[in-house]
Amino acid sequence: MPAKRKTRAKATPEAEKSRAGSGGAQKKRTASPKGRGILVIVESPAKASTIKKYLGQGFEVKASIGHVKDLPKASIGIDLKHDFRPAYVVIDAKKRIIAEIKAAAKRAAQVLLAPDPDREGEAIAWHIADEIRPCNGSIHRVLFNEITRKAVLEAIAHPVELDRNKYDSQQARRVLDRLVGYQISPILWAKVRRGLSAGRVQSVAVRLLAEREEEIKAFRSEEYWTVEFDVEGERPPAFVARVTRLDGEKPTLVHEGQAQEIVELARQSPLQVAAVERKERRKNPPPPFVTSRLQQEASSKLRFSPKRTMALAQRLYEGVELGAEGPTGLITYMRTDSTRVSEDAVAAVRDLIGSRFSPAHLPAEPNVYKTKKSAQDAHEAIRPTLLDHDPERVRILLTDNGGGRDAREIDDLVKLYTLIWNRFLACQMAPAVFEQTAIDITACRVGLRASGQVMRFPGFLDVYAESQEDTVAEDESIGSLPEVREGERLRLLGARPEQHFTQPPPRYSEATLIRDLEEKGIGRPSTYAAILSTVQDRGYVEKREGRLAPTELGVVVNGLLVKSFPDILNADFTAQMEERLDLVEEGTADWKRLLRDFYEPFERDLVRAKVEMRDLKREEEPTEEICDKCGKPMVIKWGRNGYFLACSGYPGCRNTKEYTRNPDGSLTILPATRPSDQICPACNSPMVVRRGRFGEFLACSRYPECKTTSPMPLGVDCPRQGCGGYLTEKRSKRGKVFYGCSNYTKSKCDFVSWDRPVPKPCPKCGAPFVVQKVTRSGVRLRCIAEGCGWTAASEDSDLEQAS
- pLDDT tens digits for 427-436? 999 999 999 9
Q: From 291, 116, 113, 87, select the one nearest 174 (Cα to Cα).
A: 87
Q: Decide if 251 contacts 262 (C-beta within 8 A).
A: yes
pLDDT band at 724 (very low <50, low <70, confident <90, very high): confident
Give CA 581 to chain center in angstroms: 23
Measured CA to CA in angstroms, residue 52 lies from 48, 56, 57, 454, 505 at distances of 6, 6, 9, 53, 52
Q: CA 631 to CA 653: how far, in whole Å?
A: 10
Categorize the per-residue pLDDT at 802 as very low, low, confident or very high, splitting at 50, 70 and 90.
Answer: very low
| 765 contacts 736 by C-beta, under 8 angstroms | no
| Confidence (pLDDT) at 469 | 64
Report whether the peptide linkage leading into residue 237 is cis, meaning its omega lies within 30 degrees of zero.
yes
H or E segment to which residue 644 belongs: strand 642-647
Mean pLDDT of 109-116: 96
pLDDT tens across 20-66, in order?
333 333 333 333 434 479 999 999 999 999 999 999 889 999 999 99
Residues taking part in catalysis: 333
**Is residue 706 predicted with pLDDT exceeding 70?**
yes
Instruction: In whole angstroms, give the CA distance from residue 560 to residue 121.
Output: 35
d(Cα 66, Cα 97) in Å, to the nearest integer? 11
Read off the pLDDT of each residue in 174-195 and give the average, rounded to a whole number.
Answer: 95
Interacting residues of 682 by C-beta distance below 8 A, sequence separation 6+? 700, 706, 708
Strand 752-753 to 633-639 pairing: unpaired
What is the distance of C-alpha 308 from the center of its chain?
8
Long-range contacts of 537-542 (CB under 8 A, 24+ apart): 537/734, 538/196, 538/197, 538/202, 539/734, 539/735, 540/206, 541/206, 541/209, 542/735
- The residues facing 161 across adjacent strands are none
- Backbone angles phi and psi of 300, in degrees to 5: -70, -45
Beta bridge partners of 78: 86
Average pLDDT value for the chain: 88
565 pLDDT tier (thresholds 50, 70, 90): very high
The angle formed by the CA atoms of residues 667, 673 and 676, to the nearest 5 degrees, is 140
Write the burial class of residue 636 (CB in 10 Å: 0-12 exposed, 13-18 middle, 19+ buried).
Answer: middle
Distance in angstroms (rounded) separating the CA atoms of residues 315 and 306: 14
CA-nearest of 688, 627, 625, 672 to 653 is 627
Q: What is the pLDDT of residue 671?
A: 83
How many CB atoms are located within 10 Å of the residue 604 CB? 10
pLDDT surpassing 70 at residue 778: no
Higher per-residue confidence, 696 vs 369: 369
For residue 527, pLDDT beyond 70: yes
pLDDT, one tens digit per residue, over 299-336 is: 999 989 999 999 999 999 999 999 888 899 999 999 99
b (16+ CB within 10 A) / e for 496-519: ebeeeeeeeeebbbbbbbbbebbe
CA distance 444 to 150: 72
- SS3 for 297-337 is HHHHHHCCCHHHHHHHHHHHHHCEECHHHCEECCECCCCCC
Residue range 215-263, pLDDT digits in tens: 999 999 999 999 999 999 999 999 999 999 999 999 999 999 999 999 9
pLDDT exceeds cutoff 70 at 692: no
> Coil, strand or helix: which one is 475?
coil
Angle between helices 45-55 and 149-157 (to 10 degrees): 80
Q: What is the predicted pLDDT for the residue at 405?
A: 61
Q: Helix, strand, or coil here: 560?
A: helix
Q: Cβ distance 159 to 140 under 8 Å?
A: yes
Q: Residues 357, 349: contact at Cβ < 8 Å?
A: no
CA-nearest of 433, 435, 432, 431 to 480 is 435
Question: In the prediction, which pLDDT does 10 show?
Answer: 37
Cβ atoms of residues 712 and 728 within 8 Å: yes
747 pLDDT exceeds 60?
no
Residues 6+ apart with CB under 8 A from 663: none
**CA angle, 271 then 275 then 280, to 5°:** 135
Above pLDDT 90, what percent of the chain? 69
Confidence (pLDDT) at 774 = 66
Q: What number is the average pLDDT over the span 132-156?
A: 95
Give 579 or 405, the one with higher predicted confidence.
579
Q: Is 546 helix (H, G, I), strand (E, B) or coil?
A: coil
- Distance CA(363)–CA(341), nearest Å, equals 16
Backbone torsion region of residue 435, taken as left when φ is above 0, otherwise alpha when ψ lies between -120 and 50, otherwise beta: beta
Q: Once rounded to an integer, what is the mean pLDDT over residues 542-546?
A: 85
- DSSP bridge pairs for 443: 446
DSSP 329-389: --B--S--------HHHHHHHHHHHHHHS-GGGS-SS----PPPTT--TTS--B-BS-TTS
User: What does the alpha-carbon distance between residue 644 and residue 664 come to, in Å, rounded to a whole number?
Assistant: 18
Residue 153: closest CA among 20, 3, 289: 20
β-pairing, 642-647 with 656-657?
antiparallel
Task: Go through the chain and tell me how many residues it has.
Answer: 803
Q: Between helices 119-132 and 95-107, what is the axis angle to 10°?
A: 70
Strand order in the sheet with 139-141: 59-63, 38-42, 110-113, 139-141
